[in-house]
């Protein structure tokens, strides 16, 4: 099945609208909420209302969180129809929004990472019941880092409820979201297969936000530590099937990551693209023009470096589009999702830091947003699986080895 490298025509209007929002709504308040850490950006309420209106009219495919559905029939690759759907539209529009501000994008109501988990794992009844919620996602725990399979938060069935106990850290939108998707194990002895996701409404007894973190970047976004102490959740809030299937293993969790990793890649690409656009302007003001019709070695060192950064970012963008396109076409995309996340995360940090360097004192000062973008981009190489974790996943997929065979 062929892949066209041109942006799908049906999404160009959506992408253009996202860029206008980024330029006219997010970029002007970017520094304000970077300095006012933990203050909720009230301007986003109006933007969320606009997105809801578009969704109801059917004009915003991809404006919200999409999912990678493992229970749908996979394409065997023999067909000729290529679908450009919600996953591709999501990464394209999110890229543009993060050209405006990553932290503000992560603060958008009803667009939390937990929404992607619901879209990927929930059954039809749950999709309808949780439609319209704003869900954060609680995975990371003290001592587990990127090893999501080593989750220690427990979920014990008691009648028609599960009782959750544990601590989650670095929960994006953990204070502002109205629901939290919590990853917990039904039985530590059964390993990965026993890890399930639970939707917990805020205000549920036994659940409390312990603290908000002060961070290097994405300061507009709240990041919380959440404690669960005998927190009782209705059994029907377990996403998907409660059956523990050793053959399926970590599939439910990985379906979520297969969706969110291309999204995080798109955030890194959007932030880095913003840095390149401004750097090109600042270089031109300093008399350094980037000439695309001449070999890099014949141009000033700053122009040659700029061309190298731009080409690296384009490679990451194409990997991101491929991973999202495969999800739209019901193709297994775990390898491609991790490749996109690894490439974009590393390149995004390299591009933003290099732009600070190329612009000298202007890049390092707060007169421009370059230093902020360098701070914001680093988290995009860390959360949803670090660079090292992505490379490990890629190696396992390429070599055909299990997690026990290659650690």
Rounded-to-integer distance, Cα 310 and Cα 213, Å: 33
Collapsed DSSP state (helix, strand, coil) of residue 330: coil
- Assess whether pLDDT exceeds 80 at residue 247: no
Collapsed DSSP state (helix, strand, coil) of residue 68: coil
Mean pLDDT over 355-378 rounds to 98
Confidence of residue 392 (pLDDT cuts 50, 70, 90): very high
Confidence of residue 51 (pLDDT cuts 50, 70, 90): confident
- Assess whether pLDDT exceeds 70 at residue 74: no
On whether the CB atoms of residues 103 and 221 are closer than 8 A, the answer is yes
Report which of 380, 381, 343, 374 is spatially closest to residue 278, judged by C-alpha positions: 374
- What does the pLDDT read at residue 55? 59
- What does the pLDDT read at residue 253? 62
Bigger pLDDT: 256 or 67? 256
- Assess whether pLDDT exceeds 90 at residue 166: yes
Confidence of residue 65 (pLDDT cuts 50, 70, 90): very low
Q: Give one DSSP letter per residue of 350-371, joined into a string.
A: HHHHHHHHHTHHHHHSTTSSHH
> How buried is residue 400: exposed, middle or buried, by Cβ count under 10 Å (0-12/13-18/19+)?
exposed
- Domains of the chain from N-terminus onward: 1-407 (2.40.110.20)
Report which of 200, 230, 227, 225 is spatially closest to residue 212, judged by C-alpha positions: 225
- Assess whether pLDDT exceeds 90 at residue 120: no
Q: pLDDT tens digits, residue range 257-296?
A: 888 899 999 999 999 999 999 999 999 999 999 999 999 9
- Assess whether pLDDT exceeds 60 at residue 69: no
Report which of 114, 113, 107, 102 is spatially closest to residue 40, judged by C-alpha positions: 107
The full length of the chain comes to: 407
Q: By mean pLDDT, which of 45-59, 309-323, 331-345 is the weakest?
A: 45-59
Q: Which of 5-14, 146-155, 281-290 has the highest mean pLDDT?
A: 281-290
Collapsed DSSP state (helix, strand, coil) of residue 227: strand
Residue 363 CB contacts under 8 Å (≥ 6 apart), including other chains: 279, 282, 355, 356, 357, 370, 371
- What does the pLDDT read at residue 80? 55
Confidence of residue 7 (pLDDT cuts 50, 70, 90): confident
Helix (H) or strand (E) holding 117: helix 113-121
Confidence of residue 251 (pLDDT cuts 50, 70, 90): low
Residue 121 CB contacts under 8 Å (≥ 6 apart), including other chains: 67, 197, 239, 240, 252, 255, 256
Mean pLDDT of the chain: 90
Rounded-to-integer distance, Cα 30 and Cα 178, Å: 24
- Assess whether pLDDT exceeds 70 at residue 79: no
- Assess whether pLDDT exceeds 80 at residue 121: yes
The structure tokens listed for 14 are 């959506």
Q: Which of 50-54, 90-94, 250-254 has the highest mean pLDDT?
A: 90-94
Collapsed DSSP state (helix, strand, coil) of residue 189: helix
Confidence of residue 189 (pLDDT cuts 50, 70, 90): confident
- Assess whether pLDDT exceeds 50 at residue 62: no
Residues recognised as catalytic: 384
- What does the pLDDT read at residue 245? 74
């Amino acid at each position: 099945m062929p892949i066209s490298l041109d942006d799908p025509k049906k999404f160009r209007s959506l992408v253009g609208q996202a860029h206008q929002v980024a330029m006219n709504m997010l970029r002007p308040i970017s520094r304000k909420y970077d300095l006012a850490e933990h203050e909720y950006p009230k301007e986003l309420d109006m933007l969320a209302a606009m997105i809801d209106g578009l969704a109801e009219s059917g004009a915003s495919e991809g404006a919200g969180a999409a999912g990678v559905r493992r229970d749908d029939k996979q394409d065997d690759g023999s067909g000729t129809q290529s679908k450009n759907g919600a996953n591709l539209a999501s990464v394209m529009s999110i890229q543009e929004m993060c050209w405006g501000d990553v932290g503000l994008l992560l603060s958008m109501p009803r667009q939390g990472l937990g929404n992607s988990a619901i879209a990927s794992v929930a059954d039809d009844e749950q999709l309808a019941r949780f439609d319209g919620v704003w869900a954060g996602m609680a995975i990371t725990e003290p001592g587990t880092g990127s090893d999501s399979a080593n989750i220690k938060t427990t979920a014990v069935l008691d009648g028609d409820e599960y009782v959750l106990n544990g601590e989650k850290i670095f929960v994006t939108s953990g204070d502002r979201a109205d629901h939290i998707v919590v990853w917990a194990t039904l039985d530590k002895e059964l390993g990965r297969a026993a890890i399930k996701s639970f939707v917990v409404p805020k205000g549920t007894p036994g659940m409390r936000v312990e603290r908000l973190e002060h961070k290097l970047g994405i300061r507009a976004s709240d990041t919380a530590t959440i404690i669960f102490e005998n927190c009782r959740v209705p059994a029907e809030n377990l996403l998907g099937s409660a059956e523990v299937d050793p053959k399926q293993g970590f599939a439910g969790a990985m379906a979520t990551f297969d969706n969110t990793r291309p999204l995080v890649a798109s955030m890194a690409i959007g932030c880095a693209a913003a840095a390149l656009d401004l750097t090109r302007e600042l270089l031109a003001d300093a008399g350094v023009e980037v000439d695309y019709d001449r070999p890099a070695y014949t141009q000033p060192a700053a122009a040659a470096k700029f061309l190298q950064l731009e080409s690296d970012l384009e490679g990451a963008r194409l990997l991101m589009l491929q991973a999202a396109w495969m999800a739209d076409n019901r193709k297994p995309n775990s390898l491609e999702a991790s490749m996109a996340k690894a490439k974009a995360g590393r390149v995004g940090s390299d591009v933003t830091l290099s732009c600070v360097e190329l612009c000298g004192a202007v890049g390092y000062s707060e007169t421009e947003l370059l230093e902020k973008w360098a701070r914001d981009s680093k988290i995009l190489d860390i959360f949803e699986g670090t660079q090292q974790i992505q490379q490990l996943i890629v190696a396992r997929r390429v070599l055909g080895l299990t997690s026990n065979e290659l650690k």
